[in-house]
Amino acid sequence: MAPLARRVVSAPSHHIPAAWFAATVLAGGAHAQTINEVEPNNARAKADIIEQAPATGLSIVGTTTGSSGTGSTSPDFFFVYPAPAPAAIYRHRLTLTSTTPGHIMNLRGRAQTMGFPATGDVVLQLASGSSPRIAQWYGFGRRGGVFVGVFGSSSTTAAYTIAHERTTIVPIDLGSFGQGPISITTIAQGHSTDTELFLFDANLQPIPDAGNDQPISPLVAQAALTRTLPAGTWYLAVSDANTAWQFGAPPDDADRTNFLTEFLDTFVCGSAATNRNLTFFISDAAGNTRQVNATKTEPFEVRWFSLQTIPAACSPADVTAVGGPPLGPDGLLTGDDFVTFINAFAAGCP
């Protein structure tokens, strides 16, 4: 039986104590659940904590007719913590509905200063649509979540309901590349989309310093990322700006001021734009290349890909051959054969 969602009052302003994460309700199953907001929850520091949000069936109900102060005219804040799940890429979507539409819903995060998280509460994503309003983020089955703000006006007199839905995303397999330097770029791919690139390891853990918004050279809106990857499986996230994870931008990123999420298991695209061309080009040191056509079709969408890196094939010019002269595939020993051999040796060939 899946544990019920649980509401905990009085969240701290920045992090959630581990003890709160462990204090789940173990009774009950994955049936429909309704959790009502409890005032005061008019700031992040007072957010209602919604633990163990199931894949479907959770409804958060509240009322607000304003954006400041206390009581019914104050905004409502929640921290939504999804229930743990097997490792995978998950899209978490919040849908706000009301018989008096006009609410504003957003996802919150942190600012960044020169690659380091900064203090202060910022809006990572402003929910799209009017009725319903839609907000979403991505997670990977581990502990994580987002702060959610809901704001009203004098016309939003009826209660609102926020429903949570979790959907598994299957990444597109890009095939195999040689281990070693892997270069990914959206530059000169037939579009001008302000793109961002992020790499994750085989366990869907974000890799520090493996993201890019804008390269230093050339200084353009597209993204370019080169990282040395040993043999293994890797995941690539591609979307338009601003897309956020917890790590600050690395030194080879020209834009080190974009907003950040607060948890490793939370990945957010803040752009509601649609029909964005995200085509990119990927290559390895051995000259294997591939252009990948990709389009962002929905607000806040991130396109996900997987790739494998394997030891490069050993050189056809066996310079240690015994019993005869070493030969390349053309029957001749040339400089190219030695270059191929050296590259393969550097890549870990026996």
Q: What is the pLDDT of residue 316?
A: 44
Q: What is the pLDDT of residue 328?
A: 47
Alpha-carbon separation of residue 337 from 180, 319, 341, 342 (angstroms) = 19, 9, 6, 9
More confident residue, 256 or 345: 256
| pLDDT beyond 80 at 326 | no
| pLDDT beyond 90 at 60 | yes
Q: What is the pLDDT of residue 167?
A: 97
Distance of CA 177 to the CA centre of its chain: 23
Of 296, 307, 294, 167, the C-alpha closest to 235 is 307
**Pair 43, 148: CB distance under 8 Å:** no
Domains in the chain: ranges and CATH:
6-169 (2.60.120.380), 172-310 (no CATH)
Instruction: For residue range 125-137, list pLDDT tens digits in order.
Output: 999 998 899 999 9
